[in-house]
Amino acid sequence: MNHMTYARAGNSAEAIRLAGERPQSKYLGGGTNLVDLMRENIEAPLSLIDVTALSSEIVAREDGGLMLGAAATNTAVAADRTVRQRFPVLARAILAGASGQIRNMATVGGNILQRTRCYYFYDDAARCNKRTPGAGCDAIEGFNRIHAILGASPSCVATHPSDMCVALAALDAVVHIDGPRGTRTIKLVDFHRLPGGHPEVETELAPDELVTAVELPLLPSGMRSTYLKVRDRASYAFALVSVAAAIDVAQDGAIREVRLALGGVAPKPWRALAAEGVLKGLPACEESFRTAAEAELKDAVGLRDNSFKIELAKRTIVHTLCSLTESARA
């Protein structure tokens, strides 16, 4: 690690001012990803601006939505009574990620901005276009069992590692941003970029901008939601495939509304719009779910070691939707 300065910001205006004054600065949340990356010399900021004292409030809004302060810890969000009642998919996604210790440290803002766990990104002896633009990618023809089957490019096949973001994608979450040019909002599904020719640019956030909150719009009361994660061991591992789902089934058994997002399969939290489009109006049954899963994975491309994810993703979608709709009938 190189030498760096440290300052603790009391509010977002102060954080943004400090970032403007200090070249090559980085905002620091719980540190669970950034500290590791600095130790590996993948991130080398000259200055850290600690933003954990910024808003960590979780505030229920009158319209049924919820605002999560960016500094709220993952544990605080998952334990929040309103989150557990109205947005179980989010509580379950967070609890499926990391360990108790890490969830106590990690923040909402940091979780959104965490970087891929691609082995080649972490190994500075390997070629990585994300770490060194134009260097090449050793994952594409390397050991790529954990890599992407959707949305990848010839320059990068890394996946986004977050569980929380998969739920946020399904929930139509909105990211609130502050910066020297003022405040703005962007939908979570538009926040992360696909790699294309520039995998080093991962989000729409400018370097001097700060994530201040995440807004969850009301999830219609008829919608049941959950999160299912498939991984190499029962706990404390990143997803091979995960599914965040919310569904509302009418009295006659037809699907009134459905939201679906996938994790572990793409460079960003993957909102499954093709599947959603197929499902609307169909009877809530295994056959419909399978048809929708086929539609979503139609363009999936397997690499040497990860083609199993294509069928695994389909089956995980079907299983998740079956369990949500069966428990509704029970």
Partner 1 sequence: MKFTINKEVFELAVDVRTSLLDLLRERLHLTGTKKGCDQGACGACTVLVDGERINSCLALAVQYEGRSIVTVEGLGTASALHPLQHAFIEHDGFQCGYCTPGQICSAIGMAGELARGVPSVVTDDLTLETIELSHDELRERMSGNLCRCGAHNGIVEAVRETFAEKANP
Contact residues for partner 1, defined by CB under 8 A: 1, 3-6, 28, 30-32, 35-36, 38-39, 48, 50, 52, 75, 78-79, 84-85, 88, 91-92, 95-96, 98-102, 104-105, 229, 234-236
- The nearer residue to partner 1, 13 or 53, going by C-beta atoms, is 53
Question: Would the CA dihedral through 97, 98, 104, 105 be positive or negative?
Answer: negative
- The nearer residue to partner 1, 93 or 279, going by C-beta atoms, is 93
Q: How far is the CB of 104 from partner 1 (least distance, A)?
A: 5
- The nearer residue to partner 1, 7 or 254, going by C-beta atoms, is 7
Q: How far is the CB of 169 from partner 1 (least distance, A)?
A: 19
Residue 44: partners with Cβ closer than 8 Å, 6 or more residues away? 1, 2, 24, 38
Q: How far is residue 208's CA from residue 20's CA, in Å, rounded to a whole number?
A: 7
Q: How far is the CB of 230 from partner 1 (least distance, A)?
A: 13
Residue 138: partners with Cβ closer than 8 Å, 6 or more residues away? 120, 126, 127, 128
Per the document, the length of the chain is: 330
3-state helix, strand, coil in the chain (%, to 5): 30, 20, 50
Question: Would the CA dihedral through 284, 287, 288, 289 be positive or negative?
Answer: positive
- The nearer residue to partner 1, 28 or 318, going by C-beta atoms, is 28
Phi, psi (degrees; rounded to nearest 5) at 237: -150, 155
**Other beta carbons within 10 Å of 193:** 15
- The nearer residue to partner 1, 221 or 235, going by C-beta atoms, is 235
Q: Are the beta carbons of 330 and 180 closer than 8 angstroms? A: no
- The nearer residue to partner 1, 87 or 289, going by C-beta atoms, is 87
- The nearer residue to partner 1, 147 or 229, going by C-beta atoms, is 229
Q: How far is the CB of 52 from partner 1 (least distance, A)?
A: 7
Q: How far is the CB of 85 from partner 1 (least distance, A)?
A: 6
- Residue in this structure with the two tokens 């939505």, named with its chain if needed: 65
Q: How far is the CB of 314 from partner 1 (least distance, A)?
A: 23
Q: How far is the CB of 103 from partner 1 (least distance, A)?
A: 9
CA dihedral 78, 212, 169, 306 (to 10 degrees): -90
- The nearer residue to partner 1, 84 or 198, going by C-beta atoms, is 84
> Sheet holding 66-69: strands in order across?
58-60, 66-69, 210-216, 174-178, 184-187
Q: How far is residue 98's CA from residue 109's CA, in Å, rounded to a whole number?
A: 16
Q: How far is the CB of 140 from partner 1 (least distance, A)?
A: 25
Q: How far is the CB of 51 from partner 1 (least distance, A)?
A: 11
Rounded to a whole number, what is the distance in angstroms from the first to the last CA of the chain?
56
* Residue 30, CA distances (Å) to 53, 129, 191, 200 in order: 11, 27, 21, 23
b/e 53-80 (16+ beta carbons within 10 angstroms → b)? ebbbebeeeeeebbbbbbbbbbbbbbeb
- The nearer residue to partner 1, 36 or 294, going by C-beta atoms, is 36
